[in-house]
Amino acid sequence: MTLAGKTALVTGASRGIGRAVAERLAADGALVAVGYAQDETAAKEVVTAIGGRAFAVQARLGAEGDVDTLFAALDRGLREHGAGREIDILVNNAGVAAPVTIEDVTPALYDEVFAVNTRATFFTTQRALSRLRDGGRVINITSGATRIAFPEGIAYAMTKGAIETFTLALAQHLGPRGITVNNVAPGIIDTDVNADWLRGDPEAEAYAASRAALGRVGRPDDVAAAVAFLASDDGRWVTGTTLDATGGSHL
């Protein structure tokens, strides 16, 4: 229970990587706010799976008033669990994909992917700073696409590149408070986001596995383990950097 007594907010935690992160942080002892956009049923399933150390907070990030909605829900949940307003760990995981090349990126799609992946991360973190305890953790989920050319999702990759620049500056800014700020960059992970092309297609799975030096497709818990390390005291001397969680893709 390395995170006993800690409180974490994980955005986009009703499925996939976010769910795995929420479950892992709770297993390590943290009280976890499970952020979700619309799927209340899925979020409640995560809370039920975790047990008494979690509660759901709803906010459609990227929409008007998103941060106000998120933190109002967070405050309600913390009160219900007898906890104070402070948090120790912020995991910015919520995001949307844009799986098209530059020729097919519309202004509306571009604005949406930046609103959710970049703008919401920026202002969620901004709001969290006043209640993030000294010695806390900010962990941003970026992507191997910041290191590996990804023309088939160029706008998405750009949002994650922006977050990595944000992380670098924020780590310097928050260093005096003992707060570490890092990225975790997944590669191809077996989640429902990739289900349409990955699951049930042996050729697609073999191709995805071949891209990783470790020879398999990543799992959500692989990424959650990296997040848990950075969230723990073992990660206390790591800041301003990106932890590659691609299984060695395209080395």
pLDDT of the residue at 67: 98
Count of positions (residues) in the chain: 251
The pLDDT assigned to 92 comes to 98
Cβ-in-10-Å burial (0-12, 13-18, 19+) of 79 comes to: exposed
Residue 6 and residue 31 in contact, taking contact as beta carbons nearer than 8 Å: yes
* DSSP class per residue in 6-24: -EEEESS-SSHHHHHHHHH
For residue 81, what are the CA distances in angstroms to 10, 31, 113? 17, 9, 34
What pLDDT is stored for residue 241 in this prediction? 98
What is the reported pLDDT for 202? 83
| Contact indicator for 238, 182 with CB cutoff of 8 Å | yes
* Cα–Cα distance, 135 to 31 (Å, whole number): 17
**Is 156 considered catalytic here?**
yes
For 201, the token pair is 């297609």
Helical packing angle, 16-27 and 40-50, nearest 10°: 20
The token pair that represents 163 in the structure block? 């977050």
Token match 């497709």: residue? 217
Task: Write out the CATH class of domain 7-245.
Answer: alpha beta
In the chain, where the domains are located: 7-245
244 phi/psi in degrees, rounded to 5: -75, 120
pLDDT tens per residue, the chain (251 residues)?
Answer: 799 999 999 999 999 999 999 999 999 999 999 999 999 999 999 999 999 899 999 999 999 999 999 999 999 999 999 999 999 999 999 999 999 999 999 999 999 999 999 999 999 999 999 999 999 999 999 999 999 999 999 999 999 999 999 999 999 999 999 999 999 999 999 887 766 656 667 888 888 899 899 999 999 999 999 999 999 999 999 999 999 999 999 99
Q: What residues contact 195, with CB distance under 8 A and at least 6 apart? A: none
Q: Tell me, what amino acid is at 248?
A: G
pLDDT for res 203? 83
Four-point Cα dihedral 51, 57, 62, 64, nearest 10: 170
List the one residue out of 142, 164, 132, 46 whose CA is nearest residue 94: 142
Collapsed DSSP state (helix, strand, coil) of residue 199: coil
Q: How far is CA 26 from CA 48, 50, 69, 108, 197, in A?
A: 12, 7, 23, 37, 31
Q: Which of 117, 106, 235, 249 is closest to 188 using CA atoms?
A: 249
Q: What is the helix (H) or strand (E) element at residue 138, kind and residue range?
A: strand 132-141
DSSP letter for each residue of 68-93:
HHHHHHHHHHHHHTT--S-EEEEEE-
